[in-house]
């Protein structure tokens, strides 16, 4: 499959191809090395070397082998695709599905289902097993590299809704509390001394007075493991249904949903804003939260 194609301009005629591809297409060095080794970069239809100079008007192509068809039964994993094109996928994950194989779950993951359907897919981000909502995936190494760089720059905006016990007169606008690992349990915890930077912004709060609960709308400014769960538990308001950082023996799914995802498309540069459907296994959103979500 042709992954990328560009025409060298007059000003680029003296550039080595590896410089041109890095500057014009954001190609990381590691991916370029892999492409050169597989003779996947062509200039005017002929395999090229990284030190070759571009010629004005020449056609530079970056090719990538198409994914192989997979055989056998598909994993029994519900797979809801909200958006797809040749470069990316946006998946609406249901609660209870593991993203990647772990030491406790070897198969039947979201990654397995994506690879079986599409032949290749790389999850750019993750959600906990019991968190529902949107995940971004790349369909080939170049889009994975570009989106990975965007994640590292914190250019991908992720907005979550959570339901927590308790009502406060005022919620902080920002929870800025480093997160580390408890050496005994392995769980995450707020650790001001040895923890890694972790910031969660609270965009809105909608109390449900009669039930003694509060809906929170939040955006991640960093992406630590279990960040929202740890931060809200640290405030004294663990997410409803979170039996890891809240009360033990809690039944029912965790009330945390990744509702909005905003990012720049790796090929077009267009700003993409994708919204998840509201899961049927969570309480219905109050009207006020619906309005706040629309403005988030």
pLDDT at 81: 95
Residues forming CATH 3.10.290.10 domain(s) in the chain: 2-63
- What average pLDDT score do residues 180-195 get? 90
Kindly report the pTM of this predicted structure.
Answer: 0.86
pLDDT at 294: 76
pLDDT at 73: 59
pLDDT score of 54 more than 80: yes
Tell which wins on pLDDT, 110 or 24.
Answer: 110
**pLDDT band (50, 70, 90) for residue 150:** very high
pLDDT score of 71 more than 70: no
Radius of gyration of the chain from its Cα atoms, rounded to whole angstroms: 22
pLDDT score of 29 more than 90: no
pLDDT at 289: 82
pLDDT at 238: 96
Q: Give me the CATH topology for the region 81-152.
A: Pseudouridine synthase (3.30.2350)
Catalytic residues: 128
Which tens digit of pLDDT belongs to each residue from 10-22? 888 888 888 888 8
State the chain's mean pLDDT as an integer.
Answer: 88
**pLDDT band (50, 70, 90) for residue 66:** low
pLDDT at 230: 97
pLDDT score of 4 more than 90: no
The CATH number of domain 2-63, selected from 3.10.290.10, 3.30.465.10, 3.30.70.260, 3.30.1600.10: 3.10.290.10
**pLDDT band (50, 70, 90) for residue 67:** low
pLDDT at 180: 95
* CATH assignment, 157-295: 3.30.2350.10
**pLDDT band (50, 70, 90) for residue 27:** confident
pLDDT at 30: 83
pLDDT at 74: 63
**pLDDT band (50, 70, 90) for residue 250:** low
Residues forming CATH 3.30.2350.10 domain(s) in the chain: 81-152, 157-295
């Amino acid at each position: 499959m042709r992954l990328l194609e560009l025409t060298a301009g007059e000003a680029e005629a003296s550039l080595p191809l590896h410089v041109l591809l890095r500057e014009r297409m954001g190609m990381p060095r590691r991916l370029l090395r892999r492409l050169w080794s597989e003779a996947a970069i062509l200039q005017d239809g002929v395999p090229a070397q990284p030190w070759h100079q571009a010629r004005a008007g020449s056609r530079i192509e970056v090719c990538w082998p198409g994914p192989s068809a997979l055989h056998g039964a598909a994993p029994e994993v519900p797979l809801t695709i909200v958006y797809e094109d040749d470069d990316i996928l946006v998946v609406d994950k249901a609660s209870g599905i593991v993203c990647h194989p772990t030491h406790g779950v070897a198969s039947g993951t979201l990654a397995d289902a994506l690879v079986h359907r599409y032949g290749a897919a790389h999850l750019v981000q993750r959600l906990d097993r019991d968190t529902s909502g949107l995940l971004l995936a790349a369909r080939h190494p170049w889009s994975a590299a570009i989106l990975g760089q965007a994640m590292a720059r914190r250019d991908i905006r992720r907005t979550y809704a959570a339901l927590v016990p308790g009502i406060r007169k005022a919620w902080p606008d920002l929870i800025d509390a480093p997160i580390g690992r408890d050496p005994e349990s392995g769980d995450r915890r707020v650790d001001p001394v040895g923890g890694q930077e972790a910031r969660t912004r609270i965009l809105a709060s909608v109390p449900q007075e009669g039930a003694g609960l509060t809906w929170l709308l939040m955006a991640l400014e960093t992406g630590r493991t279990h960040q929202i769960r740890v931060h809200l538990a640290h405030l004294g308001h663990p997410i409803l249904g979170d039996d890891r950082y809240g009360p033990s023996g809690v039944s029912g799914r965790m009330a945390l949903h990744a509702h909005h995802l905003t990012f720049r498309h790796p090929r077009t540069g267009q700003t993409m804003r994708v919204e998840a459907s509201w899961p049927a296994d969570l309480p219905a959103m109050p009207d006020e939260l619906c309005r706040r979500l629309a403005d988030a």
